[in-house]
């Protein structure tokens, strides 16, 4: 068991390093493939009903996690327990999965691109790049509003695309990583309050709230510890973290705002 934990830690470190070196590819990303599969399931299952939405969430997220668990079992069965080959295969699988589910480098690059455009006074370029970070209409935002959108998006996605994923990886290994990313992706796809998804996306949104809870609190705590204004970040978290409509975006956005002054 200790060897498995060490192997996972090694694989996670390699995957984290891989994300730093090679950000998300424009094409062929596993998360995008999952999104296409989930959209295909949605086309068959969609009804304006919570039950069908719950079935969609369970089939997609549960299927992804089950597939990951089967892959882990297959890797473990390729060689006898003491064999170095088995350990190397497990490390490689973990590294590939961590790289696939993390998005920190891409997040940072897009934020810097918008920030650079804003610093240069080029609002048109900033508006072109902002949709890569968030779903807000950039045409309705001025410079300060776009800057705020960037900070809020970085705060929330630091939790979703980095810290939360690593938390669930530590708790559940490769299946935990895959399940968390699947739930988070489903929430982005259907967890809206639009007429189409108010009922159908309810289950995905609630699952994402549950899955994101530990990562968001850890992200907020790390922000307090790492930020230049620790007391201000903690005060903002306590005062404003619960006022946000999202139970997980609130703590991280508030702590970021407090840390930045």
Q: pLDDT tens, 31-57?
A: 999 999 999 999 999 999 999 999 999
DSSP one-letter code for 227: S
User: Residue 201 above 90 pLDDT?
Assistant: yes
pLDDT at 28: 82
Contacts from 86-89 at CB under 8 Å and sequence distance 24+? 87/3, 87/7
Mean pLDDT of the chain: 93
Overall pTM surpassing 0.85 (yes/no): yes
Structure tokens at 25: 């590819």
Segments in the chain forming alpha helices (H):
2-21, 30-45, 50-57, 63-76, 84-101, 104-119, 123-129, 143-158, 164-190, 202-226, 230-240, 249-260
State phi, psi for 183 to the nearest 5 degrees: -65, -45
> What's residue 237's pLDDT?
96
Evaluate if residue 78 carries a pLDDT over 70: no
- Provide the pLDDT confidence category of residue 135 given band limits of 50, 70 and 90: confident
At residue 82, the pLDDT reads 53
Q: What is the mean pLDDT of residues 75-88?
A: 64
Q: How many CA atoms lie within 13 A of 230 on its CB side?
A: 4
Res 86: pLDDT: 59
Rounded CA separation 113/127 (Å): 11
Number of structural domains in the chain: 1
Q: Is the pLDDT of residue 2 over 90?
A: no
Range of the domain at 194: 2-260
> How many residues comprise the chain?
261
Retrieve residue 191's tokens. Answer: 């967890």
Angle value at C-alpha 204, between 201 and 207, nearest 5 degrees: 150
- Tell me the two tokens of residue 81: 């327990």
Distance CA 134, CA 150 (A): 8
Q: Which residue has the higher pLDDT, 8 or 182?
A: 182
Q: Please report which confidence band the pLDDT of residue 85 belongs to, taking 50, 70 and 90 as the band edges.
A: very low
Dmax (CA) for the chain in angstroms is 61
**pLDDT, tens digit, for every residue of 202-236?**
999 999 999 999 999 999 999 999 977 899 999 99
């Amino acid at each position: 068991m200790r060897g498995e934990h060490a192997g996972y830690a090694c694989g996670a470190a390699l995957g984290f390093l891989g994300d730093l070196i090679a950000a998300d590819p424009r094409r062929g990303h596993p998360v995008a493939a999952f999104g296409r599969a989930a959209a295909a399931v949605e086309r068959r299952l969609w009804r304006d009903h919570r039950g069908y939405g719950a079935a969609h969430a369970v089939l997609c997220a549960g299927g992804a996690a089950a597939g990951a668990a089967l892959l882990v079992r297959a890797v473990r069965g390729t060689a006898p327990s003491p064999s170095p080959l088995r350990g190397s295969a497990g490390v490689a699988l973990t590294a590939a999965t961590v790289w696939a589910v993390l998005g920190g480098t891409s997040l940072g690059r897009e934020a810097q691109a918008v920030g650079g455009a804003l610093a240069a006074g080029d609002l048109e370029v900033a508006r072109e790049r902002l949709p890569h970070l968030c779903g807000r209409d950039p045409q309705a935002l001025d410079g300060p509003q776009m800057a705020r959108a960037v900070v809020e998006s970085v705060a929330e996605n630091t939790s979703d695309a980095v810290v939360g994923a690593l938390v669930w990886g530590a708790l559940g290994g490769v299946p935990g990583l895959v399940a968390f990313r699947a739930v988070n992706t489903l929430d982005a796809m259907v967890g809206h309050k639009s007429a189409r998804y108010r009922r159908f996306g309810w289950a995905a949104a609630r699952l994402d709230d549950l899955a994101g809870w530990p990562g968001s609190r850890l992200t907020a705590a790390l922000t307090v510890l790492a930020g230049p204004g620790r007391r201000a970040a903690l005060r903002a978290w306590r005062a404003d973290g619960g006022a946000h409509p999202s139970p997980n975006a609130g703590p991280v956005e508030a702590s970021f705002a407090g840390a930045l002054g």
